[in-house]
Structure 1
Amino acid sequence: MNKILLKIRKRILRAIDKHQLTKYQANYFYQKSLKKHLLSLPTLPPYHSNLLRIINKEGVAITTLDKLGITSSSDIFTSAQSLMFKISQNTSYDPNQFVIHATPQQIIEYQEIFLWGLDQDLLNLIENFLGLPVAYQGIYFRRDIANQLEIGSRLWHIDQEDRKVLKIIIYLNDVNEDNGPFQYIPKYLTSEIEQSLQYRTGYVRDNVMQGVTSSEVYKSCTGIAKTVIIADTSSIFHRGKPPINTDRFTIFYDYTSRRHKQAFHGTSILAYSDLHILSKNLSEKQKRCIFW
């Protein structure tokens, strides 16, 4: 499908999605699905249960790779450091560019990074948050450039892909206030600000945000390498604060339910054939998270 037809298709789907009857029906079936799946939710260990409680209350929980207890974490951090070195060698970028992503070929080369996001213990935590079977939208391996540009995801926004969106962010280098921490506004304040701004979708500049709230309410997620941030990005205003001193290196893992509110929002950077190669040794349950 060419780009023009794809844009037309997306415009039509958005118009349908916003229609009152469509919204009513979608919400009815969503609530019905939640009730049906409630008894199928997997049991969580105490530490993951506590993380879930914090996410539901605050919108964000902060932990570390070690505390999270995923068995392959040491392997992926070693691989991530190798990939980080390769991406850091890239100096031929546009001065108006604020982020460099690992290529699909690099993700396939370091496939253990992609596969970490399909660890069954991790999927169990995410399924309990969503209340529904998990759709793994894939990953972004990012180098955020220290150029102080305020564009794209460095502006305040709320993710719209689904009713609930969970992102897991792993810091690959130490992140302080001056090199691009993930920032958010707590859940209880976000709803008030949404009303003040009459926010529906899109990006909000920081000077506009400070017109309706104080920057003192901003929460900066700082931490050393291996810090893990688990964020309900569909319920909080959030952004990546522009780095000042040094580049920030992160991995973003994206998840929604399989009852995708807007199915045209798929985020995977990998081709279908690549996903088949990566999934060859996965369980059927894990595969369904990719090919939903």
Structure 2
Amino acid sequence: MIKRIYNRVLKHVYTIPSLEKYSDSIYKTAVQQHAVNLPPMSTGDLKIVETLKNEGVAISSLEELATPSSSKMTSAAKKLMPLIPCITKKNEFVVHATNEQIMEYPEIFLWGLERRILNIAENYFNLPVAYHGAYFRRDIANKVQRKSRLWHLDGEDRQVFKVIIYLHDVNEDQGPFQYIPVSTTQKLVERLKYRQGYIQDTVMQQNVSSSDYKSCLGVAGTVIFAATSHIFHRGKIPVASDRFSLFFDYTSRLPKYPFVNRYSLPQDYLLSLSRKITQHQLQSLLWQNYKVK
């Protein structure tokens, strides 16, 4: 609680116009200087990045991406699925795998460091990538409407990038990831004078047609790339069955709020995992040691 209050105060300090202008200037310079260092990509991956920037979401699949560790990751995820309980606290709607479970099945966490995924993220950010970790979610089929089930933008950084993988077929009744495209979101931010927080669907429907809601449907293995700081998004409430999915979180290594540590695992676990990866992956995992100069 004390840390959250401290971070909130610091965030307020970082909005002082002179400091914000200085921070933005450093950021823009870094983006310009890094342009010559961006990793090359295939035509397909360039299309993913372009779609992310224009639409806010690009959809692929584990089969199309064909990353080397996908089979090990999906095998580990299938073993972990029955171990995630369906019981939640009152007024809660999601159960996460514990840190210990993630460490027992490290293939899940390490998939997020696949070179192809990092290259897509880097070309989206136009800066080196900070990997914040993986989350194994079981979203419960109940009627709770709060937090990530409400419309919101991710405001942890200038650009937040997430990769979502469905672990079973997801239709409209199984809690798909929903979003409002970039151009419409920009208009809504101005209309609602949005700064942060969650928006009830009743409020959203007063300001935009529900036809602008885009549901990401797909079979098991569907991969969703989402620019969650630039699109209003939510997890639609599942009604037919619980939804199992994986979330992988990324920002650049030049965060707007450098004091915010968003790692999904404790430091000692990260150090243990770091022994299993390449130098390139290490720079994204222990990114605070490899910040943009």
Q: Same fold (TM over 0.5)?
A: yes
Counterpart in 2 of 1:186?
Answer: 181
Structure 1: 5+ residue stretches without partners: none
> Per-residue deviation at 1:66?
0.5
Q: Which amino acid aligns with 1:29?
A: I
Q: 2:263 aligns with which of 241, 249, 268?
A: 268
Within the candidate set 125, 139, 143, 1:130 is matched to 125
Identical residues among aligned pairs (%): 46
Q: Which residue is equivalent to 1:250?
A: 245
Pair 1:159-2:157 in alignment: no
In the alignment, the residues of structure 1 paired with residue 74 and residue 262 of structure 2 have an alpha-carbon distance, to the nearest angstrom, of 23
Q: In structure 1, what is the equivalent of residue 59 of structure 2? A: 62
Aligned equivalent of 2:38, options 41, 45, 49: 41
In the TM superposition, structure 1's runs of 4+ consecutive aligned residues that sit over 3 Å from their partners are: none
The alpha-carbon deviation at position 191 of structure 1 amounts to 0.5
Provide the aligned C-alpha RMSD in A: 1.1
- Aligned pairs, number: 287
Greater displacement, 43-52 / 96-105: 43-52
1:21 maps to what in 2?
A: 18
Residue number in structure 2 paired with 1:221: 216
Whether the 8 Å CA contact 2:86–2:138 is kept in 1: the answer is no
Task: Please tell me whether residue 99 in structure 1 is matched to residue 94 in structure 2.
Answer: yes
- Cα deviation code 1:4-38 (max 9, x no counterpart): 2x134213211211110111001100000000100
Quote how far apart the aligned CAs of 1:152 are.
0.7
Matched position secondary structure for 1:250: strand
1:32 pairs with 29, 38, 42, which one? 29
Preserved contact between residue 166 and residue 223 of structure 2 (Cα < 8 Å): yes
What secondary structure, in the 3-state scheme, does the structure 2 residue paired with 1:274 have?
Answer: helix
2:70 paired residue number: 73
Tell me the alpha carbon deviations over residues 41-97 of structure 1, each in whole angstroms, 9 at most, x when there is no partner: 00001211111111111110011101012111111111101111111xx24422421
> Cα deviation per residue 1:88-125 (whole Å; 9 max; x = unaligned)?
xx244224210000000000000010000001121111
TM-score (norm 2): 0.95
Q: How does 1:140-155 map to 2 (within 5 A)?
A: 140-155=135-150
SS in 2 for 1:61: strand
